[in-house]
Structure 1
Amino acid sequence: MEFSFVDYAVILVYLVGVAYIGVRIAGRQSSTADYFLGGHDIPWWAVLFSVVATETSTLTFISVPAVAYGGNLTFLQITLGYIVGRIIVSLLFLPSYVDGNMTTAYQFLKERFGNSMRNAASTTFMVTRLLADGVRLFATAIPLAIIMRLGGAFVGWTDFEVYLLAIAAIAVVTLIYTLIGGIKAVVWMDVMQMAVYVGGAVFAGAIMISNLPEGIGGALNLAAETDKLQVIRFGFDLTFAEFIAQPYTFFTALIGGAVFSVASHGTDQLIVQRLLTTRNTKNSQKALVWSGVVVALQFGLFLFIGLLLYAFYDAQSATELGLATNDEIFAKFIVEELPMGFSGLIVASLFAAAMSSLSSSLNSLASSTTFDLYKPYFGKGNTQDEDLYVSRIITVVWAIILTGSAFFFAFLQLQEGERPAVVELGLGIASYTYGGLLGAFLLGRLFAKPDKRDAMIGFFAGLTSLLFMVEGPIHNLLPGEPLAIAWPLYTVVGSLIVVIVGSLSAQIRNR
């Protein structure tokens, strides 16, 4: 079965409907507070689902099944750390943000260390979002690219050319949606879209099970025979160098996942902005902590989908299936195996959810640029209308930049050789810069002596040090056998270096 005209019609109607409903829900924005913070009047449960949809929708739907398809279930260990990290953020960070009436996460750093530290953190956030969301946008284009290839209208096109067209189409629609709707439309559409795409995944799983000769039992038996059911791995049989380089051992995943979650949900404007849209601190805390539980359940669902796919396609590799990467396997099933109309609905919900995530990125990047970099220096005398106009221009600029970043990652992922799952690539990028951000926040919250100079020294020491511990161009130039660490440890090591170096600097300078 191939993608039909009915499926294309479903996608078009769904996307138009989502955009229309989103605009109607959002209403008219009269200020940047409306545009970026929804007037601080969004229910906590809506923010909960919005947080989940924003951080996992596209990468979960596409790439997490690929993790199980090519490996096992040890990725699930990280979700335990995610829950622990969210609890820490709700107690340590959120009261300062909500009670302090802050518009971005980085205003705390301004109050503690001054403008220079806030600017450095805000810029680091922007670079992180540029790279990580470039991966996210590329991942979103995967199913659309497969549809284009299967439709037969793009015969003779290279994979890279198809991805460029898919990415551009998604970016253009998302930009329009973001400019009109603002954060309130994004949050409420996330709630609806999450229900649709999770329901679609469950439906796809049911179709797979019904088409397996031996049903769930057969799929689980095959997974057991190929060691795919392993959830916990302590890794005590590994050498030290192997242990710290392996991302899915229990303690690495638990500690790394917790610290990553503290950084991503306590210092990343993408998530903090959502938590600031609730009515009070208690509501923000409920939304954040319960989002960790929902994320864990969602990871479990999509890893299980990966096991079903492994049985459905009889353990064939991506190459044997005629695909460029493992990340395309679930999209292939959606396009080729689901009944007419249902393929279109699931792909449409995936696109819509992904566009909401992208619009969240655009909105958070624009808010950080406006409040942290533009407003303090160039817009002090602006009216609310002028600020809103500038914010929308900044949103357009970021849309263009993010699209270019997605083009770049499409090029990288389609090169010859072994490639990581897109979800691992995206999390690895975010983990690298989160270490410096989290370290700066911890230095400000837990230590009284360090000043802005100590914070800046520690911040850049953390970012620079990681270059020598992450496999890459600099790492490859080091003599002998350089030490490499797994991506869940990037944030742990980076934040520790910031705190230690910043504290030592304060001690030395205050003698």
Structure 2
Amino acid sequence: MGSQAHQIYSYRPFKIVKTSGHFASLDIIVLVAYFMATLGIGVACWRKSRSVDGFTAAEGSLPGWLTGLSILGTYISSISFIALPGKAFAANWNSFVFSLSIPFAAWIGVKYFLPFYRNSGCISAYTHLEERFGGWARTYASACYLLTQMARVGTVTYLMALPMNVLLGWDIRLIILITGISTTLYTFIGGIVGVIWTEAAQTVVLVLGALVCAFLMLTGLPEGPGQLFQIASAHDKFSLGSFGASLAEPTFWVVLVYGVVINLQNFGVDQNYVQRYHAAKSDREARKSLWMGALLYVPVSAVFFFIGTALFAYYSTHAGDLPLEYQAADKSDYVFPWFIVSVLPKGITGLLIASIFAAAMSTISSSLNSSATIFLNDYYQRYINKSSTERQRMRVLYLSTIVVGIIGTSLAFGMINVKSALDAWWTLAGIFGGGMLGLFLLGFISRRAGKPAGVISVAVGILVILWMSVSPKLGWVPEGMRSPFHSFLTIVFGTAALLLTGLLVTAFARPRKRDGA
């Protein structure tokens, strides 16, 4: 693609100037400077990450505003940067309802989950499961988490590389390789301290880039900003979806409930968030960080949806500027990248590309560090070497960071031109996620629930999730036996089935005898 000649239009306020080529020298300077700054942060944090506690929890020394920006960065990925505008461009603001669910989930996280983990003193999110249900539960949950994070690294890297191929014209394999090496390197060097500082800086770059882009879209319309709202209103682009009772469509209520469950999973069982709870220097700062990261995502995601609506208005008035290949409904994710390279001025293009890299690298670095932490605590120290020294544990952290980085990058390579692999990974992630959250909630809510309740409830929950995920895709399944529910409800019903089954089994089980009774 990079070898093809294109006529590109770069934007100046109220004037479109024809240029050639995808990428100017100034854009390259901005992008290189960004990468150097990122690696510089990792090097600067090297001394603070040379101990196990420093590498995994920053020795509990970070301020709330910093970890809050990091939580925001963990929420946002390159998928958000590209997919949210694509959603709004192709449809409306229905997916924004997910963001509206975050404050409620954050309130539960601050009130219950955060103090629970802070008081436990355990860096792993899954130690509690072993205490409640036995070692199988901890191993099951941590294995699910590791598989999901490796898939997450590969998926985010691959889906970031697709639009970057449009933006830069570089070979997609080169983009994947550069991203994988640079992210693994600064995560290896800086530990959680480097990850959090880098995420905070990347989040600022990303938000500033999005705001600049939204402003330029508004001022680029022939009749001014008011034209955007006229066009959007005429096409119902600001709709939040139907308020009906259907469970087969992504109505307002379906997306809202889905958002609540997913965000409870984030705040309750996601190791990325749990490590940030421990990294804050006090309970007060930890609460501040969770509220800050969660509440900031609501307006930030609104900016991305607004960009998608603005793109629709812009290309409604500049219809000839959008190539036919990107006008198809399934190509909406490519519209924003095309706008970046064809309309934005020099330098701003480089900033936006750095923002997309920033979103991907934030997600990947969090996954690498949290996966290394889980492998050390839930596998190496538990099964391999229970009396390991500090030096041995640091070697395990370094090695596992590199291994997960290599596996994730390899998965990204493997996903090239194999879109069905993405669907398979997302299905598995839903199965694992539902089981993890439901099991955690069962142990959190019921003090009597033990191993039998845990095993039976996990089996039921996974069967429900499998039925809802797989039955609609299998032609040999009779119509009446296929799940009639929207896919967003898969993890909702799976989690609910697991929790209710566990509570029922516990209610009918004989109380466990206490010692000496």
Aligned residues: 486
Read off the aligned partner of 1:48 and give its amino acid letter.
G
| Of 263, 270, 283, the match for 2:265 | 263
Give the TM-score normalised by the residue count of structure 1. 0.89
State the 1:325 CA deviation. Answer: 2.5
Judged with a 3 Å threshold, the aligned counterparts in structure 2 of structure 1 residues 183 and 336 are, in CA distance, closer, same or farther, namely: same
| Of 291, 297, 300, the match for 1:298 | 300
Specify the alignment match of 1:380 in structure 2.
386
Give the TM-score normalised by the residue count of structure 2. 0.88
Structure 1: state its 5+ residue gaps.
155-161, 237-242
Specify the alignment match of 1:168 in structure 2.
177
Read off the aligned partner of 2:279 and give its amino acid letter.
T
1:59-89 C-alpha deviation (Å, 9 max, x unpaired)? 2211100010111011111212121111112
2:350 aligned with 1:344, yes or no? yes
Read off the aligned partner of 1:439 and give its amino acid letter.
G
Specify the alignment match of 1:220 in structure 2.
229
Conservation of the 8 A alpha-carbon contact between 1:468 and 1:474: no
Specify the alignment match of 2:316 in structure 1.
314
Write the mapping of 1:209-288 to structure 2, written as runs, cut at 5 A.
209-236=218-245, 243-247=246-250, 249-288=251-290
Conservation of the 8 A alpha-carbon contact between 2:38 and 2:186: no
For residues 192 and 472 of structure 2, what CA distance do their matches in structure 1 show? 38
| Of 195, 198, 207, the match for 1:189 | 198
For residues 485 and 125 of structure 1, what CA distance do their matches in structure 2 show? 26
Matched residue SS, 1:63:
helix
The CA RMSD over aligned residues, in Å, is 2.5
Judged with a 3 Å threshold, the aligned counterparts in structure 2 of structure 1 residues 258 and 362 are, in CA distance, closer, same or farther, namely: same
Conservation of the 8 A alpha-carbon contact between 1:462 and 1:497: yes
Q: Which has the larger radius of gyration?
A: 2
Specify the alignment match of 1:333 in structure 2.
339
Specify the alignment match of 1:80 in structure 2.
100
**Larger CA deviation: 315-324 vs 292-301:** 315-324
Conservation of the 8 A alpha-carbon contact between 1:48 and 1:290: yes
Specify the alignment match of 2:114 in structure 1.
94
State the 1:319 CA deviation. Answer: 4.6
For residues 483 and 17 of structure 1, what CA distance do their matches in structure 2 show? 49
Read off the aligned partner of 2:248 and give its amino acid letter.
A
For residues 304 and 115 of structure 1, what CA distance do their matches in structure 2 show? 47
**Larger CA deviation: 135-144 vs 322-331:** 322-331
Specify the alignment match of 1:455 in structure 2.
454
State the 1:389 CA deviation. Answer: 0.7
Structure 2: state its 5+ residue gaps.
1-18, 512-517
Specify the alignment match of 1:27 in structure 2.
47
1:25-59 C-alpha deviation (Å, 9 max, x unpaired)? 45342322111111111111111111111121322
Conservation of the 8 A alpha-carbon contact between 1:98 and 1:280: no
Read off the aligned partner of 2:280 and give its amino acid letter.
T
For residues 274 and 486 of structure 2, what CA distance do their matches in structure 1 show? 26
**% identity of equivalent residues:** 30
State the 1:210 CA deviation. Answer: 2.2
For residues 165 and 327 of structure 2, what CA distance do their matches in structure 1 show? 14
Conservation of the 8 A alpha-carbon contact between 2:214 and 2:303: no
Specify the alignment match of 2:477 in structure 1.
478
Read off the aligned partner of 2:203 and give its amino acid letter.
M
Judged with a 3 Å threshold, the aligned counterparts in structure 2 of structure 1 residues 278 and 93 are, in CA distance, closer, same or farther, namely: same
For residues 491 and 276 of structure 1, what CA distance do their matches in structure 2 show? 27
For residues 71 and 123 of structure 2, what CA distance do their matches in structure 1 show? 17
2:216 aligned with 1:207, yes or no? yes
Read off the aligned partner of 2:506 and give its amino acid letter.
A
For residues 235 and 318 of structure 1, what CA distance do their matches in structure 2 show? 37
Specify the alignment match of 1:505 in structure 2.
505
For residues 287 and 28 of structure 1, what CA distance do their matches in structure 2 show? 21
Specify the alignment match of 1:465 in structure 2.
464
State the 1:304 CA deviation. Answer: 0.3
| Of 3, 13, 16, the match for 2:36 | 16
2:64 aligned with 1:44, yes or no? yes
State the 1:428 CA deviation. Answer: 7.2
Judged with a 3 Å threshold, the aligned counterparts in structure 2 of structure 1 residues 132 and 322 are, in CA distance, closer, same or farther, namely: same
For residues 183 and 210 of structure 1, what CA distance do their matches in structure 2 show? 40
State the 1:171 CA deviation. Answer: 0.7
Conservation of the 8 A alpha-carbon contact between 1:318 and 1:326: no
2:406 aligned with 1:400, yes or no? yes
For residues 277 and 141 of structure 2, what CA distance do their matches in structure 1 show? 19
Matched residue SS, 2:326:
coil
Read off the aligned partner of 1:465 and give its amino acid letter.
V
Specify the alignment match of 1:58 in structure 2.
78
Specify the alignment match of 1:240 in structure 2.
none
Specify the alignment match of 1:67 in structure 2.
87
Specify the alignment match of 1:158 in structure 2.
none
Conservation of the 8 A alpha-carbon contact between 2:42 and 2:190: yes
State the 1:488 CA deviation. Answer: 3.3
